[in-house]
Structure 1
Amino acid sequence: MSPNEFSQRVLGWFDAHGRKQLPWQENPTPYRVWISEIMLQQTQVETVIPYYQRFIERFPDLRKLADAELDEVLWLWAGLGYYARARHLHRTAQILCEQHGGTMPLDIAILQQLPGIGRSTAGAILALAADQHQPILDGNVKRLLARFGAVAGWPGQSRVQTTLWELAERYTPVQRVAAYTQAIMDLGAMICTPRRPYCAACPLAEGCAAHAQGQEMAYPEPKPHRKRLVRATRMLLLRTLEGEVLLERRPPVGVWGGLWSFPECPLEVDIAAWCQEQFGLTVVVKPPWGMIRHNFSHFQLDITPVPALVSGPAGVVMEGERFVWYNPCHSTDRGVAAPVKRLLAALATEL
């Protein structure tokens, strides 16, 4: 199938069946497209839509985002996961305001130097917002092209990645680039799905090598299996007589970076002694709650919540950048991870 026929078939399908009412398709400025592309990384469209709408309502432009506190950005992001994306958004907005006058440069080389923006994301911003002739290679497009070209191997391998980029460049048309870019993403998401692809409805089925082989599920090859690690921790639900609980801001990088969480106590230590040593708090430890299992991409975390009542003065733990006494009944704009949010809600029901 020639590149021209490929793109025309994709565009014809899009005109008839593609998604045209997504919120970021309305007034697709570079800023709005950028926000949507970052949110859509490893996250489905249906999940992203309400987050995107709230985010854009609060931060309608680069300067509003750059001037915001990171805590508020993380709070609006809470639940989407992969929180480095939110930190990168915030930092990139600041860089663009400091170095580019509060506008997003329409230059792919400059965009790729910004935090959290790789080649595919930069290409999508420029194609969708400026109709620039830039290929993209998100997860859905990788799968579609791997099947169409029967490209063997896992897409994370550099050799396979190079081949897929060559295909993406070959088939991206010069005209209607924005429509084609949305179309190829939609086709991957809606038709060339990971399981049970709808080949009968695919405009590219005639030229698809994997379909001709009857081996659609053989492409792309999965990531080599690694046994998922299991980690365990104890989260301390330290509560005062007034009902406030102690939250600690996590380091800026790593799991839940920059979010607020409960202090985590080593499994082997005595909790009361540890609280006295770490915080100067006298506590009465209560029986632990049931374990919570939280899955990350590379490991699972087994959380044992342990409530403890602070029996002495709580003011010895200084509030500030690292700690805060938080009333779960009066929510404030603080970013917390999903399991912490659930535990806070459970604490609120006890007050």
Structure 2
Amino acid sequence: MNTIDFQQKLLAWFDVCGRKDLPWQRNITPYRIWLSEIMLQQTQVITVIAYFEAFTKKFPTVDALAHAPVDEVLGLWSGLGYYARARNLHKSAQIIAEQGYFPNTLEALVALPGIGLSTAGAIMSIAFQKRQPILDGNVKRVLTRFNAISGWPGQAEVNKTLWAVSADFTPIDRVADYTQAIMDLGATLCTRSKPQCVRCPVNTACLARLTDTVAVLPTPKVSKKIPVKHVTLLLLHNAAGHVLLEKRPSLGIWGGLWSVPEFSCLQSAHDWCVINNINIVKQHTLTTKRHTFSHYHLDYTPVLMCVDDVDNCVMDTEQNLWCTVEHTRSLGLAAPIKRLLQQHFKQRE
């Protein structure tokens, strides 16, 4: 099967079976396509839909996003994870608003924070109808299997080969539909596990299927033991039940989000309280829980401490605030922190 046959069969399948009514496929603009592509990184479509609709309702244009406080942006992103995406989205929106137009060249797009070659290619092909290859996770899987390309796709040489194949397969005509189609094929049929090869429109020429190697392609990365980090989270609450939060540094895990103070151990938490003139009258250690990131496990032990006098301890500043139940609905909070706070407020009802 040559590239033209591949394109035609894929497009014919997309015309009948492809998804065409996702929120970002309606009222297509460069901004909406860009936003959807960023949200869809490392996140499934079913999860993204609600976030996309809420985000575009609040920030319908690039200008609206650019002029919003970053805390408001992170608040709408809460629970979606990989928060650097939201920070980069906000920074890029400010750059775009300042220059007065949405970039329409590959070079200009990849110069923006958080936009790589594949995201830029999707914007170019879908929003601007310009021929550009893409290579997201779904496309990598389709092309790796169809061409029986072995080796972990993250390796430089394998990645280079896949980009060349993607460029060769990308058509000039109907490039937006083709881009949607090949992503759809990977997301719905050529899935990581239990692929539905019988329904695949290009299965007769798929080398992985012909050589019975579908299950082992793409070649997985050599797994390493994921380290575990242990921390103590301080739930410092006053008589009203409000919990003290602090804003995390803009870089690093949960960057720019609000969180409860974090310490390496319980003694460090006590020392911090002494330094800040915080008099603890009651303490209760909660169950240790685990949150897994891509590169390590975080085992966190929440410790509930009641303070008797808030006048002499840390109060509201730009970096600290006493959190109410309303804050859990609007502040940028990492998912485990949001759950922890919601449980605390629910127990006090």
Q: Indicate the residue corresponding to 1:321 in structure 2.
A: 318
Identity value in percent: 50
Q: Indicate the residue corresponding to 1:5 in structure 2.
A: 5
Paired residues for 1:17-28 under 5 Å: 17-28=17-28
Unmatched 5+ stretches in structure 2: none
TM-score w.r.t. structure 2 length? 0.97
Unmatched 5+ stretches in structure 1: none
Give the Å deviation of 1:67: 0.4
The residue identity in structure 1 corresponding to 2:96 is L
Separation in 2 of the partners of 1:60 and 1:236? 38
Which whole-Å deviations, capped at 9, do the CAs of 1:8-48 have from their partners, x for residues lacking one? 01100100100000000001100000000000001000000
Give the Å deviation of 1:281: 1.2
Paired residues for 1:81-230 under 5 Å: 81-98=81-98, 100-101=99-100, 103-230=101-228
Separation in 2 of the partners of 1:337 and 1:70? 15
Give the Å deviation of 1:285: 4.3
User: SS of the counterpart of 1:237?
Assistant: strand
User: SS of the counterpart of 1:197?
Assistant: coil
Deviates more, 1:132-141 or 1:279-288: 279-288
User: SS of the counterpart of 1:269?
Assistant: helix
Q: Is the 8 A contact 2:315 2:322 kept in 1?
A: no
Q: Indicate the residue corresponding to 1:310 in structure 2.
A: 307
Q: Indicate the residue corresponding to 2:66 in structure 1.
A: 66
The residue identity in structure 1 corresponding to 2:314 is V
User: SS of the counterpart of 1:287?
Assistant: strand
Q: Is the 8 A contact 1:245 1:328 kept in 2?
A: no
User: RMSD in angstroms over aligned alpha carbons?
Assistant: 1.3
The residue identity in structure 2 corresponding to 1:45 is V
Q: Is the 8 A contact 2:9 2:201 kept in 1?
A: yes
Q: Is the 8 A contact 1:133 1:174 kept in 2?
A: yes
Give the Å deviation of 1:346: 1.1
Give the Å deviation of 1:266: 2.5
Q: Is the 8 A contact 2:229 2:299 kept in 1?
A: yes
User: SS of the counterpart of 1:33?
Assistant: helix
Which whole-Å deviations, capped at 9, do the CAs of 1:309-330 have from their partners, x for residues lacking one? 1112345414222111111256
